[in-house]
């Protein structure tokens, strides 16, 4: 088996293992993270209703974010934090998908915890 197929297989197994344990409710919606090579996108989803409650991304039309990818991820998480405070959401279930908990993913989680969100 080639290296890329093995990496893809391991990534999908990790995603299935994580998603089997995580369900967002109205009391604790699910924070899902999408990370590409250049950008990051965060969504807060209520799985019981199948509805997105809030979202933030560094692909905004209003302004181009500067800095490293981790710094941009911190800015996106602060934008999401403001939206969550407006909607009075204080507790989330963190769905990191198949991404390992380090780098940008860890920075997002820590920024939300510092902002008062329980993950």
pTM: 0.82
**Residue 108 CB burial class (10 angstroms; 0-12, 13-18, ≥19):** buried
User: What pLDDT, on the 0 to 100 scale, is given for residue 22?
Assistant: 80
Distance CA 9, CA 67 (A): 33
Sign of CA dihedral 93, 96, 100, 106: negative
Q: Beta strands of the chain (E only): which ranges?
A: 30-35, 40-46, 51-57, 93-95
Q: Which CATH class is domain 3-114?
A: alpha beta
pLDDT along the chain (119 residues), means of 10: 86 84 83 92 91 90 78 93 94 88 94 93
């Amino acid at each position: 088996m080639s290296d890329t197929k093995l990496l893809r297989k391991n990534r999908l197994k990790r995603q299935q293992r994580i998603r089997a344990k995580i369900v967002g409710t109205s009391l604790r919606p699910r924070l899902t993270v999408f990370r590409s090579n250049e950008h990051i996108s965060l969504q807060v989803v209520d799985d019981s209703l199948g509805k997105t409650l809030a979202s933030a991304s560094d692909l905004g039309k209003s302004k181009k974010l500067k800095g490293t990818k981790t710094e941009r991820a911190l800015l996106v998480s602060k934008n999401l934090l403001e939206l969550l405070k407006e909607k009075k959401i204080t507790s989330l279930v963190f769905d990191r998908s198949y991404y390992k908990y380090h780098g940008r993913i860890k920075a997002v989680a820590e920024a939300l915890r510092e902002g008062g969100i329980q993950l």
